[in-house]
Amino acid sequence: MDKIVRRVAHAQRSATRRSQRIARRQKIQTHYRAQETIKQANREIINNIKDAKKATKEDWELGPLAPQRDLGFNNHGVVMHPIRADWSNYGQIKYQNKVAEKRCAWAGGAKMLNLAPGDRVVIFEGHDKGKIDTIKTIQPETGSLTLENHNRAMVQSMLDQPPRSQAMPLSIDAVRLVYPLPDPVTGVTKDTIVRQLKAVPPRMESPNMTIERWRYGNKWDRIVPSLNRIIPWPETVAPEFEMTANDTARDQVEERTFYYSLTAPPMPGGVIDELRNKYSKFRTRHEDWYVAEKETETEAKARKGKTVRAMQTPLEEFNEMQRAIRDAAGEPELSEDMLAKIGQVMAKSKAEALERAGVSEVESKQ
């Protein structure tokens, strides 16, 4: 069994090193892909700036004959390489947490963002500045969002189709929440721009606290710190799951199909083999008969080794006899005569060394 234990430990170490190598290789490949994506995005921005400068010059020179670039005709104003407009590319780029936190600071931070799809916001930056729109999607990891109607661009399709209008990502710091609040002076309820939001634990008077919101929405409340007023979340709609032929219904899962007593194991014996490969090299638990068989094999090998050792030549028998005699005699002990002889030899050696150095014994003691 010791051999099996060592084999399992070696297999586990090998598998760990292999997985670490694969993880390092994937990390390096992801890094290079992200760098390439960033380069393409930067190149796209540079090309857009060049096109904008060229279009400005043409509009100045042509005057009334300048093309209508905002309609998408002849690829005017069309994003040819929609790298920045594609949400899937954001998974390849590792955004810094401080960037997302800075963008979401006014709304409570990226981890507990107090915005949700369906909120009405006002745009503070860009060509749609001052317009009110509804949030469509939110990406707290990048501190960005998309709107329903504004901040869109014509994007060239990858399937040789006409350009289509697509929502472009917008920084969360470029919008502010709009919510109807009563005026403190006149008492008239009107749309108010909320410039700061804070997350607080849910209260007893929390509005629209439903089961759907508790399961699929945000479980905290958001308030305006200056007014200490709770801003309700948009209505949370439970997702609808469509049943297919490969799905298992709940009544089938809860149906009891195996019965056992205290004298029977909690599950059939073959279930363990289905869940765990009984021939795996990583297996550490074995049946009693297998352990007994391996121990029998170990004992047989040990007996075989003793038999081989019992067949010796006369020289090997003599050497083994001498080793037994030395082991029985124990460590040697020095007698008084031996110690006296050793002292005489040491004194003679010291006198000869002093004589060669030209120093007398009396001078050496001084």
Q: What is the pLDDT of residues 94-129, one digit of tens each?
A: 556 888 899 999 999 989 999 999 999 999 988 889
Q: How far is CA 350 from the centre of its chain?
A: 75
279, 287 contact by CB (below 8 A): no
Grade residue 214 by pLDDT with cuts at 50, 70 and 90.
Answer: confident
DSSP secondary structure code for residue 162 in this structure = -
pLDDT value at residue 202:
84
| 156 or 220: which leads in pLDDT | 220
pLDDT value at residue 89:
47
* Two structure tokens written together for 171: 């920084």
216, 233 contact by CB (below 8 A): no
218, 233 contact by CB (below 8 A): yes
pLDDT value at residue 107:
92
Residues with Cβ within 8 Å of residue 1, at least 6 apart in sequence: 291, 294, 295, 298
pTM for the model stands at 0.57
pLDDT value at residue 307:
67
Closest C-alpha to 198, from 102, 108, 109, 106: 108
Residue with tokens 């409340």: 221
Compute the distance between CA of residue 328 and CA of residue 319 in angstroms, rounded to an integer: 14
* Residue 81 in this model has a pLDDT that exceeds 70: no
